[in-house]
Amino acid sequence: GRHLLPSPDGGIAPIRTSKTFHWRRQLQSVQRLRDRFSSETLHYLCPGANTGFLRGKLAVEDAYDQIAAIETAAL
pLDDT in tens, 17-48: 888 888 998 899 899 999 999 999 999 999 88
At residue 36, φ and ψ (nearest 5 deg) are -85, -30
What's this model's pTM, rounded to 2 decimal places? Answer: 0.80
Burial of 63 (0-12, 13-18, 19+ CB in 10 A): buried
Report DSSP letters for 18-67, one per residue.
TT---HHHHHHHHHHHHHH--TTT--EE--SS-GGGGTT-SSEESHHHHH
